Copies of this chain bind each other. A is one copy, B any other.
Amino acid sequence: MPTGSNRLLIRSLLFAPANRVELLKKFPRQDADAFVIDLEDGTPESERAAARQQLSQTVQYLRRERLRGLLFVRTNASTSPHADADIEAALGADIDGLLIPKVGGASDVERGGAALTAAEQRGRQRPLILIGLIETVQGVMNVQSLTTADPHLAALAFGGEDYISDIGGRRTAEGLEVLYARSQVVAAAKAAGLAAIDQVVVDIRDDERFRQDAALGRSLGYDGKMCLLPRQVALANDAFSPTPDEIDRSRRLIAAYEAAGAQGRGVIEFEGRMIDPPLLGRARAVLEAASRGILDRR
């Protein structure tokens, strides 16, 4: 959801297939910051038309059950015969926005943005948001230019699995094969003031793998992570929230810095490290995130 600083706060973005109503109905019990009803890859081709027709009813159910967190629909890519019908159905329901897959360039973002503008002109309770999923080589190469294509775009997500399929590579545990693309997507997002949501972890039984991957994503600057199952949501929320130690250390670092400033010293040592504005800025961001973590939950 847009925060005071006008940035989306999504630590966890939980997907479920649009044709699995029994899974979708569990959303209100789950602690994700945002949810995605997936009309695309999660739903078999033969089920997509039927799933689309159920969409409005499912969204009504979720709103009645007071879903916390933002609600998105992943529509099919613009090259699919489903694309137009998906967008129409999604924007006919009371959702917060669209997640557009396989974004390859500015025109994909413009097309999505135009649909949101049209829906807003027909009247909406809340502003609509676009998340662009960058998961092809084309998308990565064009990522810098597409971030400014439409003002509805509020976040980029990076799809490492699709990216590696598209480039013809192989996934490894270490993940060096996507470091370039993953770094480029988060840099383009942040340069444009957008949020950045990191890749899924398909090893759904391996919590340690998820934690390690989330830690790397966070170090790169990502704000949250796409989740395939409810069990990954808690791990993502944890990885993308400040730890008690970080909060404590940030408070002490700021206090030490302010004390030094009062004595006319700008750079001081704190527990063996030099404190300068970058470190200080991170400490302040930790305290801000910690307070938002409580305030921003509906």
Which residues of B sit under 8 angstroms from A47, Cβ to Cβ?
A: 264, 266
Which residues of B sit under 8 angstroms from A179, Cβ to Cβ?
A: 176, 179-180, 183
A188 within 8 A of B: yes
- Residues of chain A at interface, number, CB under 8 A: 71
Chain A 111-144 interface 0/1 with B at a Cβ cutoff of 8 Å (1 = within)? 0000000000000000000000001011011001
- Write the nearest CB–CB distance from A200 to chain B, whole angstroms: 8
Q: Please tell me how many copies of the chain the complex holds.
A: 3
A273 within 8 A of B: yes
A-B contact pairs, 11 of them (CB 8 A): A41-B278, A44-B265, A135-B278, A161-B278, A162-B277, A167-B220, A168-B221, A200-B274, A202-B273, A204-B269, A204-B273
A33 within 8 A of B: no
Q: Are A278 and B164 within 8 A (Cβ)?
A: yes
A276 within 8 A of B: yes
Binds B, one of A63-71, A82-90, A279-287: A279-287
- Write the nearest CB–CB distance from A215 to chain B, whole angstroms: 8
A219 within 8 A of B: yes
- CA separation between A159 and B278, bound complex, in Å? 10
